[in-house]
Structure 1
Amino acid sequence: MGAVRSLRRLSRVALLGPAPRSGVPDAIEHVVQAHRAHHPGADVDALRRGYLLAESSHRGQRRKSGEPYITHPLAVTLILAQLGAEQTTLTASLLHDTVEDTEVTLAQVREEFGAEVAHLVDGVTKLEKVDYGEAAESETFRKMLLATGSDVRVMAIKLADRLHNMRTLSVMRPEKQVRIAKVTSDVLIPLAERLGVQALKRELEDLVFGILLPSEHARAQELVDTHRQGADPLTQVAAHVRSILREAQIDAQVLIRPRHVLSVHRLLRKRGELGPCDYGRLMILVSEDADCYAALGELHTCFVPVMSEFKDFVAAPKFNLYQSLHTAFADASGQVAEVLIRTGRMHRIAEAGVIALGDPDATQPAATPRPPGDGSAVGVGTGERTDEPVADSTRPGWLSRLLEWQSHASDPDTFWSELREELAEDREITVYCPDGGEDAARESSGVLSLPAGASCVDAAYARHGTAAHRCIGVRVNGRLTALNTVLRDADAVQLFLAPASAAATYAPAPEWLDHARTPAARLAIRQWLAAHPGPSDAEPVAATALSDPETRAADVPSGARPGSAAAVVRAPDSAADRTGAPEDTGPPNPPDASEELVTVSAQPAALGADSTAPGEPSGEPAGTEADAAVSEVVGSPDTAVRLANCCTPVPPDAVTGFEVHGGTVTVHRDSCHTAGSMAAAGGSTVSVRWLRHATGCQVTLLAEAFGRPQLLADLTETIAVQGAAVVSADVEPPREQRVRHTYTLRLPDATRLPALMRAMRRVPGVYDVSRAGRRLPAGG
C-alpha cells in the first residue's frame, strides 16, 4: 500500500508539472531518495534530464485510468529504484515509452543520453502491430530477448513495466485482463525467476492469481486476513531463536517473513490445512557465509530439525544465483517453523537479482567465467557496458539457449509456443560434455546448462547443433546408455558422432522428438524431418543394413570357414533376447596375458540334465570334458566338475564351486549373479582352483558397436586371427544405431583372452568388449 500511496503523490505532482527544488523536480524526489538509499551520493543529473524529456513528450497523454501518462514511467522507475537499480537503468526506464508513444526518436535519446540508455530503451520498445499483425507480441518478445542477450537490464525494465501495468489492470475489460495475466504467467514470471528478481515475481504471482483464479485467491486471502487478526506464534519462536544465537555469539537479525497469497494457497493444497506457524517463515540474516552454517548448527542442536526440509543453496546456488540455507525445526511445543538463513548480500541478490547486479555481463572481462558460488559474481556492478561482445561463459545458460534456438524458429507461432515451453522448466542442471569427436583439439571445458529433465538428445544438439543428426551413441558417467536417458546434475556425457563424410547415411529418428526437451533440439529434428519426408526417416541407412538377418548373411566374408561366426550368426529367437545388454560381471580391464595362472581341477564326468544346481538356469549345454581338464575341487581331485554356462569362467577368474545333484560341482565366477543367488539360497559351496597346466577355455564375449557395413566381417576376421574357435554367435538388431554381438568362443590358451578382447576393441566402430553374464530377471 505504501507504494500505491507514493504513486498517487507522484500523480498529483505530475498534474502540476515539474517544480524544481534543489535541482530535482518534485515528481522524482521519491525516486531520487530510493536511489540514494542504495547508492549514496549518486549524481542524479541524468535522472533529472530524463524526467524532463519524458514529462514534456508525454504531456497531454493519459492512461485508461485517467491519470497522466507520465505516472506510468515514474512508477516503473520507482520500482527499480527501490530494488537498487543504478542510474543508467533508471534513466532508461523514465524514457522507455517515449520512442514508442511520442515524437521522441531513438537517435535523440542516443544523442542526449548515450548509446547505453538508447540500447535499453530500444530493447523494450514494442514493434508496431500495423507492421507485424498478430505476430507483433511474439516478435516483440523475440526482439527483447535479443537485446537482453547483450544487457539483461532490458528485461529488468520490462518486468517493472509489466508489474505496474498489472497493478492497474482493473480498468481493462475482463477478457483482456485474462489474456495479459496468462502471458505474464507463462513468460514474464518465469523470466523474473530466472533473473532472480523474487520481489517482482512474488507480486506478479499474486496479481495473476487474483485474475486467473479469483475464488481460490479470495479463499487464500481470507485465511491470511484471519491469521493477521490474532497473535503470530512465530513471534515467540523468533525471540527464542534470537536468544540462542546471542548466547552462541552469532551476530544475526531474526525476522518474520510473511508468505504471500499464492504461497499460502500452494501450501494449503499440499497439506490440506495450515497450522499457526505456516503463514510465514523465519529469516535469519548474518554477516558472513560461515555464520550461515554456524546458525544452522545452533538451530539443529537446540531444536528437533525436520531433515526433509533441509536444502543448501549456499554451497550449491540455484541457476539464478539464489543463495540461502533452508531448514525447518520443531520447538518444545511441537510447532514447526520454516527458516531461511542467508547473509545480507545474499538477501539483496535474492530479492533484486540482476537489478542489484547492474549489468553483470559488463562487470568483468568477457572471457572470464564466473562460477555461481564465486562471491565476485554477485557484487554490485558498475553498470558501465564494455565494447567487447558478451561471452557465452558469462551469460546464463537458459538465456544462451533461448538466443541459440530462437534464430531457427522463423515462424512466430513456433517461437511463441517453444518460448512458453522452455520457460515452463523451473530448474536447471549442469552436465559436462567436451566437444571431442572429430577434432580433439577443439575440446573445451564442455560445461552445458540444460533444463531439468533434458535427455542425451538435448545434450547432443546443445553441444553439436545440427551435426547431432549424426549422433550414434552416448556414454553417461562412463557407461553406455540410450539417447533417451534423462540426465542428472553433474553427469559426464560423452557423445559419439558418425563421420561427417557419412552424414547422408545417418539421420535423426522421429522418436527423438519424444525425448527432446529443449527447443533447439526439437526445432532441429523437426526441420530435418520436414525436409526429408518418407517412411525411411526413422531408420538410418547404416542401421537398416544390420537389422535384417538376410542382409547380415550377405556381410559374411567369402573365405569364412564352416563353424566360424559368419557361418552360425542367427537372429534372436524372441523379444526377450533383444531387451537390454547382458550384465557385465567381469573386471573392467581383463587381466594381462603375462599374469600367472593360479589354477587346478578334477576328472571328467558325464553330466546330464540332473546335474543342474538348485537356482541355476537349465536347458543349456551341460559342459564338456574340457571343463574337467582345467579345474578341480580342492582336496578331492576326482570329483566331477563343469564350468557354468551363465558366466563361463576362465583362468585366472576368482571362482567358487557349488555341489549339485549326482555329486558334480559347478564352477562359477565369484561375481556371477547366479552364484550369488545360489549362495543366498543356502547352496553348498566347494573350494575349487585352476590347474596350472590348464590352457584351453570357453568364454562368451559381448561386443557393442555402432552399426556400419562390414562390421561383422571385420569382427569375425579379428577373432580368427587371434586363433579362437567360434562355438556360437548372435547379432541383435540395431537399436538407436547401435548393434550388439554375442560370441561364445573356445580359446586354445586362456592367457590369450585379454589380447583377444583388446584386438576386438580395436575394430573400428567397436566401443566396448566385455565378458557376458546372464541377464537378471526384471526387477532383480
Structure 2
Amino acid sequence: MSAEATNPATPGPLMPGAPRRRGRPRIDLRRLGRAALLGPAARDRLPDAIGHVVEAHRAHHPQARLEPLHRAYVLAESSHRGQMRKSGEPYITHPLAVTLILAELGAETTTLTASLLHDTVEDTDVTLDQVRREFGTEVAYLVDGVTKLEKVDYGAAAEPETFRKMLVATGNDVRVMSIKLADRLHNMRTLGVMRPEKQERIAKVTRDVLIPLAERLGVQALKTELEDLVFAILHPEEYARTQALIAADAARGDDCLAEIAEEMRGVLRDAGLTAEVLIRPRHLVSVHRVHRKRGRLRGADFGRLLVLVEEDADCYGVLGELHTCFTPVVSEFKDFIAVPKFNLYQSLHTAVARPDGEVVEVLVRTHQMHKVAEAGVVALGNPYTPSGEEQQNADGAAGETGERSDPTRPGWLSRLLEWQRAAPDTDTFWSTLREDLAQDREITVFRTDGTALGLPAGASCVDAAYAQYGDDAHACIGARVNGRLAALGTVLSDGDTVQLLMNQMDGESAPEPSRAWLDHARTPAARIAIRRWLAAHPEGPRATDPAPRAPYSGPSARPTATNAVVDRQGATVRLAGCCTPVPPDEVTAFAVRGGVVAVHRVACPGAARMKSAGRDEVGVRWADEENAEYRVTLLAESFSRPHLLADLTEAIALEGVAIISATVEPPSQGRVRHTYTLQLTEPDHLQALMRAMRDVPGVYDVGRAQHAAAGAL
C-alpha cells in the first residue's frame, strides 16, 4: 500500500518560482479527502469526490458513459475505507488523484475505471476475479498489470520483478504503463513524509526507469513533472539555484517572449493563416540544461513559442512565413512531422533571431499532434477498438474488443520484451533494464527485403543480427552494409541497409559467438545472448585458426614444371612464384640467372617490370604431357570464425588437390586472408576448385594471388 502523503514542504513544481502548467488548477487533495469520508453518494448521482474527474473526462469524451466510474468509485471507497496515508489523509485520495491525472490527459473510461481500482487487489480484500466479474476482462487485466508482487514472496527482488511483470503486461496493453506513470507521479508529488533515504531510493528508480518509459511512450506531461520532482530530491542545491534564476527573470519584467509572440500573430494573420501562438515556459530541468549549455540566460531562454494549426500542410505554411519574416537559425531546424520520433512525437522545430540578438525557439504542430505530444499513448485511447471508442456491454462493464493489432507497441518495447525473457536472473534484468532505457535515441535500418529494424543509436551489425535472429545469430559470420562487406563490429547509421551473412552449417563445426562481440554489442538482447552462451561454455569458443603461420609447411612455395618447353634449348623452366601460371593461362617467359627461364602469366606485374627493364622475352607454350602437375597460388578472403582453416583445407582435399604450402595472416577487423600454394593434376579443374572454396561458409572471395617477384627471378 502506498503510504506517501501531501507535504507542503516537499520541493517540487508547486513551490514559489517553479513554472506552473497553464489550464486547470491542481486539485486540493485535502478537500477530496473530506468528500471521500462522506461515503458513497446515492446511486442516481455521482459522488462529489469524483466530480473533478468527471469534469476532466467529459472535456475529452463528451459522450462517455459514467456509470462504470460510479461503480468503480463506490467499490474503491468502500474497500479502502479506514485506510490512511501517512499524512492522515483517507487512502481514497490517492486513486482519485491518479485517476484525475489520467482524465486530464484524455484517457478513456476503461483506463479511468481501472485507475480507481488499481490498489484494491493489492491492498484490500477485493479479488481480481471480483473485478473481472463486475468490470470486465480489460479492467481486470489493467488492475492486475499494476498490482505489485509481495515482498514476503520475492524479498529484495519484489520491485524489479514487479517491473518485469508490468512491462510484460504493457506489451499486451500500453494502458498498464499509463496507470503506473500516473501512480508514480502522484506518489512523487507527495513523497515529503518519507525518510530522506527512501525519498532518494524512489527518486533514483523514477529517474532510471519511469522517466525513460514516460519518454518512450510519449507522455511528456508526466515526464517533465517527474523530472522536476526527481531534480528537487536528488539535486536540491541546483534545484534551488534554478528556481532563483526563474524568479530573477520574472522580477525583471522583460517579457520578450510575449513581444515576439505578438509579432508572429501579426505575421501569420497577414498571411491568412489561422494559428494560435502560445508561450510555453520551460520546466525547471529544461532551464537547468539550457543554463549549463549556454551559461548566461536571456529572457527568451526561459520558454519557447508554440504555434498550433489545424492541418499538417499549415505547419509548413507557418514555417515558410516565419523564415521569411524573421531570421532563421538554420542549424536549429528539425522536421519531426516527416520523420516522427520513435515515441509518436511530431512537430516542426525551428529558431528565429531578432535584431537585438535574442534567439527564440519555435514549435509548430497541429492540435492533434499537440495532444499526442503531451499525452502520448494515453491520447490514443483504447488501441483495440477499430473506432477508438470504448466498447461496453449492456451492464456498463468494458466488454470484449476486436482483434488486438496494437499500433502503439513500438519497436523498443518489442525488443525489451524479447530480451527480458532471456535475462537469467533478477539482478541482470534490473541492471540491463536501466542500461537499455538510458539509450535515448533510436535508428531505423533496413533488411534487404525492405522491412525495417529498429535499433538504439550506436548499434552495430552484431546488434542487428541478434535483433533479427535471436540466438541463431551465433551463426552470423559477417554482414554487408549498403552493399559492401563490413565487419560485425561496424556501427550502423539511420537508414542503412544491412544484409547479415549466416553460416548454414550444423553440428560441431557450426560457428560460435566470440567474446569480442561483447565490445560491439549495444542492445541487451545481444549482450544477454552472448553472455549466456559464454556462461554455458566456460572453455570459451573453440580456438580459431592459427594467425601467423599455417599448419602446412611442405616443399618450397616456388613451383617448378616440365609441361611448359621454352624456345631455348637446355634451359631449366620454372613457373614464377609471383603468379603461378597454369594452363590455359596466357604466359610469357624471361631468361634469368643460372640459365633458368621464368614463366609468368601475361597479366603478371612481375612480367611487366621485366619488360620495362628491357629483358628479352622467350617464347613459351604449354606442352601436352601425361601425368603433368600444375601449381597455383590462391588467396581466400573470409570472416574470422572457429575451424575455418580446417573447413577450407577439407574442401580443397575433397577436390583432389594437394596443398604445397599455406599461410594465414593475423585477423584484422574480423577478417582473415589465407594464401594457399596448390598442386593440381588437371589445370581445367582450377575454376571448380575456386568455387568449392567460395562455398565454405565465411569465405567471401577466392582469387589468384599476386606476389612480389622473387629476387632470384
| TM-score using structure 2 length | 0.79
1:315 and 2:338 equivalent?
yes
Residue 222 (structure 1) aligns with = 244
Q: Given that residues 80 and 157 in structure 1 are in contact (C-alpha distance below 8 angstroms), is that contact kept between their aligned partners in structure 2?
A: yes
**Cα distance in 2 between the residues matched to 1:480 and 1:519:** 25
Aligned to 1:141: 163
Q: Are 1:79 and 2:101 counterparts? A: yes
Q: CA deviation at 1:19?
A: 3.7
| Unaligned ranges ≥5, structure 1 | 365-378, 435-443, 566-603, 607-623, 632-639, 646-661, 666-694, 746-751, 775-780
TM-fit CA distance, 1:286: 1.1
- Pick from 465, 468, 474: which aligns with 1:469? 474
Question: Are 2:676 and 1:739 equivalent residues in the alignment?
Answer: no
**Aligned partner of residue 24 in structure 1, secondary structure:** coil
Is the Cα–Cα contact under 8 Å of residues 633 and 675 in structure 2 kept in the other structure? no
Distance 2:695 2:423 in 1: 42
Residue from 207, 222, 229 that aligns with 1:207: 229
How far, CA to CA, are the matches of 2:404 and 2:424 in structure 1?
Answer: 24
Q: Say if 2:66 is the partner of 1:44.
A: yes
Number of the residue aligned with 1:131 = 153
Query: Which residue of 2 is the match for residue 415 of structure 1?
Result: 429
- In structure 2, do the counterparts of structure 1 residues 773 and 79 end up closer, same or farther at CA, with 3 Å as the change threshold? farther
Q: Which residue of 2 aligns with 1:709?
A: 646
Range 516-525 or range 200-209, more displaced? 516-525
Q: Aligned-pair distance for 1:385?
A: 8.1
Counterpart contact for 1:325–1:341, Cα < 8 Å: yes
Pairing 1:457–2:462 present: yes
Greater alpha carbon shift after TM alignment, 471-480 vs 379-388: 379-388
Q: Does residue 258 in structure 1 map to residue 281 in structure 2? A: yes
**1:62 and 2:62 aligned:** no
Name the CA distance, whole Å, in 1 between partners of 2:334 and 2:686: 50
Residue identity matched to 2:646: P
Q: Distance in 2 between matches of 1:62 and 1:642?
A: 96
Mapping 1:677-696, distance limit 5 Å: none
Corresponding residue for residue 104 of structure 1: 126
Question: Which of 419, 423, 445 in structure 2 is aligned with 1:431?
Answer: 445
- 8 A Cα contact 1:392 1:400, kept in partner: no
- Tell me, yes or no, if structure 1 residue 519 matches structure 2 residue 456: no
Q: Distance in 1 between matches of 2:204 and 2:154?
A: 21
Q: Deviations over 1:650-703 (max 9, x none)?
A: xxxxxxxxxxxx9989xxxxxxxxxxxxxxxxxxxxxxxxxxxxx9xx999773
Q: How does 1:374-453 map to 2 (within 5 A)?
A: 382=390, 390=404, 395-433=409-447, 446-453=451-458
Identify the structure with bigger relative contact order (alpha carbons < 8 Å, sequence gap 6+).
2
Residue 24 of structure 1, CA deviation: 1.5
Distance 1:773 1:488 in 2: 36
Kindly state the Cα deviation for residue 41 of structure 1 after the two structures are TM-superposed. 2.1
Letter in 2 for 1:448: L
Q: Which amino acid aligns with 1:704?
A: S
Query: Partner of 2:542 in structure 1?
Result: 540
- CA shift, 1:744, in A, is 11
Go from structure 1 to structure 2 and tell me whether the alpha carbon gap of 1:527 and 1:397 turns closer, same or farther (over 3 Å shift).
Answer: same
TM-score by length of 1: 0.73
Alignment partners' CA distance in 2, 1:185 and 1:764: 46
**How far apart are residue 330 of structure 1 and its match?**
0.6
Among 324, 332, 357, the alignment partner of 2:355 is 332
**Partner residue of 2:535?**
530
Distance 1:201 1:87 in 2: 23
Alignment of 1:221-240 (within 5 A): 221-229=243-251, 230-240=253-263
**CA displacement, residues 130-186 of structure 1 (integer Å, 9 cap, x when unaligned):** 111111111111111111111110000000000000001011111111011001000
Distance 1:385 1:271 in 2: 54
Counterpart-to-counterpart distance in 1, 2:447 and 2:134: 47
Q: Which secondary structure does the structure 2 equivalent of 1:431 belong to?
A: strand
1:4 and 1:335 map into 2 onto residues whose CA distance is: 33
Do residues 196 (structure 1) and 224 (structure 2) align? no
Structure-2 change in CA distance of 1:449 and 1:386 (3 Å): farther
SS in 2 for 1:474: strand
Question: Residues 708 and 765 of structure 1 are in contact (CA less than 8 Å); yes or no, is this contact kept in structure 2?
Answer: no
Alignment partners' CA distance in 2, 1:34 and 1:274:
37
CA distance in 1, matches of 2:419, 2:405: 17
Q: Percent identity among equivalent residues?
A: 63
Deviation at 1:552, TM superposition (A): 4.8
2:272 pairs with 1:272? no
Tell me what 1:572 maps to: none
2-side partners of 1:237 and 1:319: how far apart?
31
Q: Is the 8 A contact 2:385 2:401 kept in 1?
A: no
2:377 aligned with 1:354: yes
Per-residue CA deviation, residues 191-222 of structure 1 (Å, 9 max, x unaligned), is 00011000000000000000000000011111
1:506 partner letter: P
The answer on 1:284 being equivalent to 2:221 is no
The amino acid of 2:433's aligned partner reads L
Deviation string, structure 1 residues 14-52 (Cα, Å, up to 9, x no partner): 233334596211111111110010011211000011111
C-alpha distance 75-718 of structure 1, shift in aligned 2 (>3 A): same
SS at match of 1:158: helix
Q: Is the CA contact 1:540–1:737 (under 8 Å) kept in the aligned structure 2?
A: no
AA partner of residue 340 (structure 1):
L
Indicate the larger mover: 502-511 or 27-36: 502-511
CA deviation after TM superposition for structure 1 residue 92, in Å: 0.4
Check conservation: 1:477, 1:493, Cα contact below 8 A: yes
How far the C-alpha of 1:407 sits from its partner, in A, is: 1.6
* CA positional deviation for 1:412: 1.3
Distance between the aligned counterparts of 2:706 and 2:139, measured in 1?
67
Which of 767, 776, 779 matches 2:700? 767
SS at match of 1:160: helix
Name stretches of at least 5 consecutive residues in structure 2 with no aligned partner: 1-13, 15-23, 392-397, 561-589, 593-597, 615-621, 623-631, 679-684, 708-713
Q: Determine the C-alpha separation between the residues in 2 that align with 1:400 and 1:419.
A: 13
CA distance in 1, matches of 2:72, 2:342: 34
- For residues 44 and 641 of structure 1, the distance between their equivalents in structure 2, rounded to whole angstroms, comes to 91
User: Could you tell me how far 1:336 is from its partner in structure 2?
Assistant: 0.6
- 3-state DSSP of counterpart to 2:232: helix
- Alignment root-mean-square deviation, CA: 4.0
User: Secondary structure of the equivalent of 2:551?
Assistant: helix
- For the residues of structure 2 that align with 1:306 and 1:773, how far apart are their CA atoms? 55
User: Quick one: distance in 1 between partners of 2:502 and 2:224?
Assistant: 45
